[in-house]
Structure formats: structure tokens, C-alpha cells
Structure 1
Amino acid sequence: MTLFQELILISLGKREQFSRRLTDKDWGSIYTEAQRHSLVGILLTGVEQVVASGESRPKFLMQWIAMGLALEKRNRLLNVRCKEITKIFNGLGLCSCVLKGQGVAMLYPNPLRRQSGDIDLWVEGDRGDIYKILKARWNVGETVIHHAEVEIFKDTPTEIHFIPSFTYSPFLYRKYKKFFKRCADRQFANYDKTVGFAYPTPDFNAVYSLMHIFHHVLHEGIGLRQLLDYYYILKSLGKEQQLQVFEEMRYLGLAKFAEAVMYVEQRMFGLEPEFLLCKPDGKTGRRLLEEIELAGNFGKYDKRYQHVDRKSRMDVYLHNVKRNFVFFKFAPSEVLWAPIWKPCHFVWRKLKGYS
């Protein structure tokens, strides 16, 4: 077990202290990993605990605390923006639901310390109709099959989702759409008066968040922050919901990936057996964990991209096609369909006139 993993467990209340006294070099390595996986705020809780118990202080402790305070300030702003954007779309006669981010943060012991990103808002209605509404009111950036980047607030990047997620396989995509249609009304109705916006129910979140992780693993890479989100989502499920969720995953072709994720949840966060959706698969799970450790948050730290021009769609496309074959065992249809889907999607966007 690495010192970084020990700090994760300390921060989750599953360990009291490190296995040995830390050096400045140890603290530096831990801090670097915390940044790579966007866990600086969450792990600050563990740092405070061990320092209070007499552990050596990291030289940059005050910098770490300052970052934690900045995260808390940012989360307060995002909570306000989520409430405001909900009112905006309600005023347009459209129901909405905040995906990921501020909704998932509600499951954390200290929601304000979760490292936040942008606002992902799922809006009810047809893609074409929603797009027209967006274009008539705001600057609309890149628009893809499932969402559009929209400048609604100057200080908060926003993605408006037509559907929560997608898949490269056209056959699985049809199943995804049926699943979202069946669950939509319940998600839009899951309004929390204390925060002023709706966010997904635990059972929906357990399926949708796995889709999100799955897509990013194939598309660019994923960090431990999203897996920690999933840890808290799993702990929010009841026993009957667990069975229902895993059946949905079978239907949606996510069962093998779920087995790999369960391994990561148990290995990195010490998830108790009663919260597992299925038996962990050590072989595919270890491969997934290797990929997570290599890529970091959304693949930003993936050294395999060093010789790839990220501004070149073709370079990124060819790199991802090659890279994705390591995931063939738990995502064969996605790996095989991705090289076909991506150029087709590019043409589809141009024909639709999307940015």
C-alpha cells in the first residue's frame, strides 16, 4: 500500500495514521498525486488529522490549506449558480437536473471540499428544440451528440445536456436512450428545496456515473476523483437498489466494466463488501487501476500523450483508437465501434450546423 493510498484511507476514516513517519519527499509525492487526481480538498481532511496527532508537517501545509479554502469558496459559488440556472430554465418552461458535480457532492461528509468543475445540466426536451433555445439566448460553443457548451455565466463553464451520456455502439446507444427516457421524469422531480435544484436519485446515479466513468476511460482517461464519487454513490444505495442497478448494467452492457470498478473501489477506498454491486474482477480491475494511475484526472497527466498534438483532431483520434484496444476485454463493442463512430459523428455535427 502506497503512502498516497494510506492518506486516502485516513481521510475516509478507515485508518488513523501512516505506516511510518513521513519525510519532506514523501509529502511532496503525496501532494503531487493529490493534484493529479483532483483530491487536494478531500485529502486535506486526512492531512489535518495526522498533523494534529503529531505527524511531521508538510512544508507546503499552508498552501494546501489555502487551496482547500479556495475549493470551498468555489463550491459555494457553484451551488448558487446551480440554483440560478435551474430558475432560468424553469422560467423557459423546461425541467432540469444537475448531473455529477454539486449533486454528487451532497453525498460527501464535507461537500465543499470536493474538487468541482463545471455545471452539467440535463434539460428535458428534444435536442433540436433545446439547441434553438440556447442559440437564441447565449453564446453556444462546441455541440456534440449529448451536450452543448453554453456561456450562461462568465465565471462558471456550463454544459447543457440533451441526454446524460452516450455510447459508441449504435445498438447500446438505443438502450441508453430508452433508459434515460424511462428515468427522466423521476430525476427532474428529485428537487431539493435546501439547495434549490434537482439532482439524480441514488439508483440512477449509480448507473449514469458508471457510464460517465466508462466513457472517459475510453475517451481520454479518468482520475480517482470520479471513482471516489462512485464510492459515495455506492454507499447511498439500499440492498434492493443494488440488485436493480446491476440488472440495468447487464442490460446496458456495463456489467464487465462494473466488475473492474468494484475492484478499484475495494482496493483504493476500502469499500465494504456489502456495498459492492457484484464480485470484483481482479484481472480487469488491476488493468483499469493501472490506467487510472497513468492518466490522472481526465487524462491530463498521461505521458503517452506527450507526442500527440491535442489540437489536432486526427492525432487525438489515431492515438485513442490505438490506446483503446487495451480495454477490449471489458468493452469489446465500444473499442470496435469507436473508430467508425467518431468520423460519422464529425460529419453529423457538420450537417447539423453545430459548432
Structure 2
Amino acid sequence: MQTVTYKVVARRLDLLFALLRYALGASREFPFFGAGGVSAEDWEWLYRQCGRQSVLGVAFSAINTLSAGKPETLGMSHQLYLKWFYQAEGIRSLNERHYACSGELTQKFAAEGCQTLILKGQANSLLYPDKFIRQTGDIDIWISGGRKAVIALLSRMNLLEKARVSNHDVLLSKEAFGEEVEVHFGFGVDRCSPFANRRLLHFLNAELPASHLVPAGDTKDAPSFYVPSNKFALVMQLSHIYKHLLGLGVGLRQVMDYCVLLRASSDGERADVAARLESLGLNRIAGALMWVLAEYLGLESQYLLCAPDARRGRILLREIMRDGNFGKFADRRRGSVWRWWLKNRLRLVTFLPFDFPEVSWFLLRYWASFVFLTPQRLLAFRLYKKRHK
């Protein structure tokens, strides 16, 4: 059994990022052949870590190419290779179904006279070297018209049965389309500063006419759906990453998405977005993300939106590696609700040096909402207890 020391952990992190760089085409070298190689324990750790970060499919694409179907050449057990292979095939199959469903959703809502966009997931998957390796979640679709009009439309289409409606979106029942679909009224972003938020929404709305139809395959009957412009996606996804960093957490999958998006964007598109970062309140998170992308995913300097910020970048990387995809493996999630709540509040305070203005707005808005909603929550709790006596 290999002793897990700081050097072992550091080496395993190097292995993880070397695989991801290889899979994304940032490097054609894998420096772990030769002296020492990679142990079976290393591969077991890597498999668990890729699962935590939702990057199993991307990592396996590199493993499959490097091993040429012979995992023993990499020091990996055949059993682990087969388990990983079946996971990767499941991811490929899910992507195929999600592409087909995205095309079906686009056609269905177009027939109702609605403009739609497929956000994040399947739109990002198309940008990877292999469009079937990204570990996809649900399908995020934006529908024009605003909350009231979209809910009325879904009701008219009999899609609200068993759906979960929130202030920001509607999670449709899986029975509706056979897949998990999240319908958005807005763009899934929200700056805490009301001034930056106003500018952000103005920019995104101005980019809507640049949305375009893309096919998800090379055949004539391949499903097609609308995706936003690269500038829209660069701003929206950067804001989305920041929102999750301050909220539940963010993982490597979102970071890799941004890496392939930057490479797919033109010099002019990146320059236009870079010029707006400060006014949108995104300059600090951008600097942190650029450091992670440059240092660990091998993103070349010509694709960076701004100068990398090492201090904030280390904070971002720590959060990513410690808590996993969307913070699902965070220690603060364990224990009672009260412990979780307290840990979240204390965590936000530690982010003040990361971005004092934005985190201050975040805390102010949270406590204002907490005070405003507390009487309603107490009333709902009393009614619940009364009904269940």
C-alpha cells in the first residue's frame, strides 16, 4: 500500500491535469511513462477524483488513446479499465440522447413561436475534441417571453405536471421528454451588485440576435438547436462560475468548459469581452480562472481574457479540488442543517479578500432576503405542524 504523503498527492494532481491537458489537445505528451510510472493506487485515486469532478469521460478519452486498449501499459488494472470504459460509454450514450432531445425541444417550442437557446451543457459539448466525452447533467434551455409567459406556455402544453417551479426556472418531469430538462426564464446569471447586474443583462440581451442554429452531427437528419454567440457564452458562463463559487461550489467540468470555449472564440470576441470585465464585476474571478487555465490546463496566453491572478487563482483551485463538482463533496454539507448553514456563512466571510465589493453585496442581499422571508417561513412551518398533528 502506497503511503499518501504530500508528494504523492501533488504527483497525483499532476497526473490528473496531464490527462486532462492531453484530452483537450493542449499537450501531446504524457510525462508519466518511464521511471516510476503510474501505480495501481494512483489510478484508483484518479478514477475517484474524476468522478468527484464529473470529468470521467474526458479523462478516459486520454487513457484510451495513450493505452491503445492495453491498460497494462499504463499500469492500470484491466478491471478498472473496464469499469471506466463502461462509464465512458454511458456518458457517450447520454450525450447522444441529449443532443436528440435538444433538437426535439427546439422544434417543439419553435412551433409555439418561441425563441430558444440551449445553454451550457450540450452547447459546450460540441466544442470538445470529441463531442461525446463531456459528462453531461440535465438539459438547460432558455425560452423567450419571461417567467409569466413561459409558465403559461408550459401549462398550455401540459408540461407542468410533476414539474418543480422556482423563481428562476422550471425542472420538468423526466416523463415529459425522457430526459431531465430545466427550462429557464432568464440566463441563469445574477451579479450581486445591482449596477453590474443591470449591465450584465443588457449585454446578454444585446447578444441574443447573434444566436445561431448548430447541427449535432454530420448527417442530414442530425438534430439541430440554437446556441448563443461566443461572447454571450463567455460572459454568461464566467458569471455562472462565480455564482456557484460563492454558492454551492464549482468543479473542474465548468473550468474545462470555459477552456474549450476560449479556444473556440475569435481574437475579437475575446477582446470585446475582456474590455467589459470590470464594468460587469467579473475582473477578479476572470483573473483567478485565467491562472487555473494557464497553469493547470495548459491554455496558451493568446486565449486568456486578462492577466492571470495567482493569489485568487490558488483560492479558486483549492475550492475546486476540495469540494468537487458543484460542491457536492464539501465537508460543510455533512451533519445537521444548522451546521451546514453556519459553515456556509463563515465560508462566505473568508471570501471577502477574494472580492470585497461582490462578496459584500452577496452578504447584504442574503441577509436582506433572510429577514424578509423569515416571517413567511415561520408561518409556513406553523401551518405544516398544524396539518400534521
TM over 0.5, yes or no?
Answer: yes
What's the offset of the Cα at 1:338? 2.6
Question: Matched residue pairs, number?
Answer: 344
The yes-or-no answer on 1:270 pairing with 2:304 is: no
| 1:282-325 Cα deviation digits (max 9, x unpaired) | 1111111011111110101112322343xxxx765543232122
SS in 2 for 1:112: coil
Aligned counterpart, 1:29: 45
Structure 1: where are the runs of 5+ without partners? none
| 1:122-162 Cα deviation digits (max 9, x unpaired) | 11112222122223422231312x32222363532211111
Would the aligned equivalents of 2:274 and 2:306 in 1 still touch at CA under 8 Å? yes
Aligned counterpart, 2:199: 175
Which stretch shows the higher mean deviation, 238-247 or 1-10? 1-10
What's the offset of the Cα at 1:337? 2.6
Alignment of 1:75-114 (within 5 A): 75-114=95-134
The residue type paired with residue 21 of structure 1 is G
The yes-or-no answer on 1:138 pairing with 2:166 is: no
SS in 1 for 2:277: helix
> Scaled by the length of structure 2, what TM-score is found?
0.82
Quick one: structure 1 residues 315 and 200, their matched pair in 2 at CA, closer, same or farther if it must change by over 3 Å?
A: farther
Aligned counterpart, 1:259: 287
Would the aligned equivalents of 1:71 and 1:115 in 2 still touch at CA under 8 Å? yes
The residue type paired with residue 17 of structure 2 is Q
Structure 2: where are the runs of 5+ without partners? 1-10, 216-221, 378-389
Q: C-alpha root-mean-square deviation of aligned residues, in Å?
A: 2.3
What's the offset of the Cα at 1:8? 1.8
Quick one: structure 1 residues 167 and 345, their matched pair in 2 at CA, closer, same or farther if it must change by over 3 Å?
A: farther
SS in 2 for 1:329: coil
Quick one: structure 1 residues 278 and 64, their matched pair in 2 at CA, closer, same or farther if it must change by over 3 Å?
A: same
Answer with 1 or 2: which has the greater Rg: 2
2:57 is aligned, of 29, 35, 41, to: 41
2:229 is aligned, of 195, 201, 213, to: 201
Give, in whole Å, the separation in 2 of the partners of 1:254 and 1:227.
Answer: 15
Quick one: structure 1 residues 182 and 81, their matched pair in 2 at CA, closer, same or farther if it must change by over 3 Å?
A: same
Q: Any runs of at least 4 consecutive aligned residues in structure 1 with deviations exceeding 6 A, and if so which? A: none
Alignment of 1:248-327 (within 5 A): 248-309=276-337, 316-327=340-351
Give, in whole Å, the separation in 2 of the partners of 1:75 and 1:211.
Answer: 25
Give, in whole Å, the separation in 1 of the partners of 2:301 and 2:41.
Answer: 35
SS in 1 for 2:228: coil
What's the offset of the Cα at 1:56? 1.9
Higher RCO, Cα 8 Å, sep 6+: 1
Give, in whole Å, the separation in 2 of the partners of 1:315 and 1:157.
Answer: 31
What's the offset of the Cα at 1:197? 0.5
Give, in whole Å, the separation in 1 of the partners of 2:169 and 2:354.
Answer: 26
Would the aligned equivalents of 1:119 and 1:157 in 2 still touch at CA under 8 Å? yes
Identity %: 29
What's the offset of the Cα at 1:329? 3.2
Aligned counterpart, 1:121: 141
Would the aligned equivalents of 2:60 and 2:88 in 1 still touch at CA under 8 Å? yes
SS in 2 for 1:36: helix
Alignment of 1:142-157 (within 5 A): 142-144=165-167, 146-151=168-173, 153=176, 155-157=178-180
